[in-house]
Amino acid sequence: MGSLGHVTPQTLHVDTPLTLRSGATLSSYDLVYETYGTLNAERSNAVLVCHALNASHHVAGTHEGKPRSEGWWDNLVGPGKPLDTDRFFVIGVNNLGSCFGSTGPMHLNPATGRPWGADFPVVTVEDWVDAQAQVLDALGIEQLAAVIGGSLGGMQALSWSLRHPQRLRECIAIATAPNLSAQNIAFNEVARRAIVTDPDFHGGHFYAHGVVPRRGLRVARMIGHITYLSDDAMEAKFGRELRAAELGYTTQDIEFQIESYLRYQGDKFSEYFDANTYLLITRALDYFDPAREHGGDLSAAFAAARGKRFTIASFTTDWRFSPARSREIVKALVDNRIPCSYAEIDAPHGHDAFLLEDSRYHGLLRATFERIAGELGLGRGRTTDTAGALAQDPRRPAGAVGAAGPRLTAPAAPAAPSSATPPDDLAAIAALVPAGSRVLDLGCGHGELMAWLRDHKGCTGYGIEIDDAKLLACAARGVPVIQLNLEEGLALFADHSFDVVLQLQTLQHLRNTERMLQETARVGRSGVVSFPNFAHWPNRLAVLRGRMPVTRALPYQWYDTPNIRVGTFTDFEVLARRNGLAIVDAFGLHEGRSVRQWPNLLASVAVFHITQDGNGA
């Protein structure tokens, strides 16, 4: 993968007044930005990168004369990288109120001729988005291929989809939240108090005194940095390691290495960041709450984003913006039937994981941008191919529903368009799905069936998958997929929100089979269920011989199997009646052929089409 080399910041002066959410107006202002790659003739390949709290417009590459000045997302953006500048034109804009060039507290207030200081108007995420739109106007870009950001940048990406939905195709929001929790607001307030109570703060007008409230900035950064790391990451890196060989028995000096690290981070931060900017940005974080204008209803807020597409990602060890907060966003999108993919990435680094290079995380983004490039006809870039991840039949065999997926060494490459007919063992199931249906596929594998239903029957909906590699394959195929453990249920989905729920080759892996069957009936008007039929005659014969069966439909030895439920065709009929389900159709499958006569004996796979009322799909 190549480097962007040296990049030069640019400045846009805007004379059009900007009215802020607070009611204040900036009559004119400057926005500093950088661009990477080439804008194509159609001006369709632009991607806006929104920065987080202490970052800036300098997303990638280096600055001339500064040998260690790599952009904060240099591992993601560049030639051949997941956000490939050989195909995309990438834009990074420094937000208003920042201290990295755009108009902010350190600049002169035209009304007084002195630095704004604490008099700089309070800005919000929405204000930043509206200002960023001015850069797009100046570049002649009507619609972005995507807006992407992590943390506070993710909030900006979400805001773009709500304020200017016509100006983007896709929103990619990483390690973010629909609003701050009370705990997060509390952390921000403690950090602000550390700054404003520093004697050198002088009410925010410390520039005139020739000082900097470094003590407050140091403490603010130390507080923030603790929240960005996971407990496991801090333990692995520092533990209880002492700085010296012996205890010093002091309350003032450094004893532990973690103390030394935090002080170093605080000292470094206080040398380059502006105190007033810190106050402004943390308050913008506090204020972000798109549901507030809709009576607290996040689903109502995201109605404005219908017609867009979303990719949402969270990290399991991020306790500041936990996966539960991302799932709130996903639920709001699902409620509005907006295509979205969601990945919950098992990374040990805490909130800072969005800045780091993780194969699963970068694999998701690479697959996403590969799909966007394909939709825009941008051609192929220098990508890493893992065709093997897509080669397997998604149902043969199904992976453990509750297990973590394998770690990837390379991201998935886009698959070829779905074939004219589905695989033999899925053809009979595909025939049960009416054209134009809204489908939920539980345990969707590599997304092969969902892609076929989309391409050949005009179906929409989502796949549910837990395995990392399969999720990437779905993303590469353009199948909206949500990473979810089926053992946790389907709380994301409203009653009867799908025409058909597919539960193929998953029931045998679940601890609570009956609950998931009830969930299938709740969220879908009809359901299609398949599972290995343990009453198939070769299985019976194996048991008679004193051995557990190992067949194509049951390809596991007894000591190494994810199958924790042993069911038969007849067993399911009894279970369906017990749960008030009507069986609309039932048949068996064996080697791709339908079996309707004596399926309990002659079929290796049982298939049931069920409803609550017996009326069909």
CB of 501 closer than 8 Å to CB of 523: yes
C-alpha to C-alpha distance for 333 and 387, rounded to whole angstroms: 31
Buried b (16+ CB within 10 A) or exposed e, 544-580: eeeebbeeebbeeeeeebebeeebbbebbbebbeeee
Please list the helix, strand and coil fractions of the chain in percent, rounded to the nearest 5, in that order.
35, 20, 45
C-alpha to C-alpha distance for 186 and 320, rounded to whole angstroms: 12
- Among the options 84, 130, 274, 318, which is catalytic? 318
- Among the options 44, 56, 102, 151, which is catalytic? 151
Query: How many CB atoms are closer than 10 A to CB 120?
Result: 23
Based on the residue annotation, tell me whether 318 is a catalytic residue of this protein.
Answer: yes
Closest listed residue to residue 554, CA positions, set 545, 567, 544: 567
- Among the options 51, 58, 349, 351, which is catalytic? 351
Closest listed residue to residue 162, CA positions, set 34, 63, 25, 304: 304
C-alpha to C-alpha distance for 94 and 456, rounded to whole angstroms: 45
> Up-side HSE of residue 479: CA atoms within 13 Å toward CB?
35
Three-state SS for 582? strand
Buried b (16+ CB within 10 A) or exposed e, 195-216: beebebbeebbbbeeeebbbbb
Based on the residue annotation, tell me whether 84 is a catalytic residue of this protein.
Answer: no
Cα of first residue to Cα of last residue in the chain, in angstroms, is 49
Query: How many CB atoms are closer than 10 A to CB 425?
Result: 23
C-alpha to C-alpha distance for 221 and 261, rounded to whole angstroms: 12
Three-state SS for 418? coil
C-alpha to C-alpha distance for 253 and 388, rounded to whole angstroms: 55
User: Which residue type occupies 119?
Assistant: D
CB of 100 closer than 8 Å to CB of 58: yes
Number of separate helices (H) and strands (E) present in the chain: 18, 20
Q: What is the DSSP string of 189-233?
A: HHHHHHHHTSTT-GGGTGGGGT---HHHHHHHHHHHHHHHS-HHH
CB of 28 closer than 8 Å to CB of 14: yes
C-alpha to C-alpha distance for 477 and 371, rounded to whole angstroms: 7
Q: What is the DSSP string of 104-159?
A: -TTSBPTTTSSB-GGGSPP--HHHHHHHHHHHHHHHT-SSBSEEEEETHHHHHHHH
Q: Give phi and psi for 583, each to the nearest 5.
A: -95, 110
- Counting Cβ atoms within 10 Å, is residue 263 exposed (0-12), middle (13-18) or buried (19+)? middle
Q: Which residues are tagged catalytic?
A: 151, 318, 351
